[in-house]
Amino acid sequence: MIKILMADDHAIVREGLKQILADVPDMEIAGEAASGDDVLAMLRADNWDILLLDIAMPGKNVLELIKLAKQKNPQQPILILSMYPEDQYAIRMLKSGADGYLTKESAPDQLVAAIRKVAKGGKYISATMTDKLIEELNPDQNKLPHTKLSDREYQVFLAVAKGRRTSEIAQEMTLSVKTISTFRTRLMAKMHLHSTADIICYALKHGLLD
């Protein structure tokens, strides 16, 4: 039996997933979480055959959750199930340690197949994303600037693009205001941007905001 910890902040999504997996004989949703902090607490309290994580949840950021889960258990299977298109987030999630990425528009049989594969130690991405991942792993000077940011820089970039103040970002990421300012300076230099307006325009242009 595959013991699943499912995390999504929308109750209706969690209910839908439970219905999809209810008749699958080798799977059990043994835990539910509605925030990143809930996931972290449940990771500390128990072991799971697979984590089924949404990207956009309140509390601890999903990139941090992936890293913390892998620190506790380097072999921990993690499947991202997100509303965001693969070309926006899949590569960053996989590079951060996730073992698979699936959109919520995928068919139920794809979800079941992905859970089985990832739980057994495999990787799951679409054929399209396989090609993109190969391109990403090859040196390429023409990559979009935001793909060259570190995970921390990318988190700060998105937060700034969403209109968050430096103090708010620092509180959310549990870092000092000075550290956030340093990340902001670095990402703007890497991306050749000069203002908050530039950051917002870039994020909108490339579809990085929901």
SS3 assignment for 8-68? CCCHHHHHHHHHHHCCCCCEEEEEEECCHHHHHHHHHHCCCCEEEECCCCCCCCHHHHHHH
Looking at domain 145-205, which CATH architecture does it have?
Orthogonal Bundle (1.10)
Tell me, what's the pLDDT at 187?
A: 94
Instruction: Please write the tens of the pLDDT for every residue from 122-178.
Output: 999 876 677 666 666 665 555 788 988 988 999 999 999 999 999 999 998 889 999
CATH architecture of the domain 2-137 equals: 3-Layer(aba) Sandwich (3.40)
Q: Is 90 exceeded by the pLDDT of residue 75?
A: yes
Say yes or no to pLDDT of 15 above 80: yes
**Which helix H or strand E contains 6, and what residues bound it?**
strand 2-7
| pLDDT tier at 50, thresholds 50, 70, 90 | very high
| pLDDT tens digits along 82-108 | 888 777 788 888 888 999 999 888 889
Q: Taking the CA atoms of the chain, what radius of gyration do you get in angstroms?
A: 18
Q: Where are the domains of the chain?
A: 2-137, 145-205
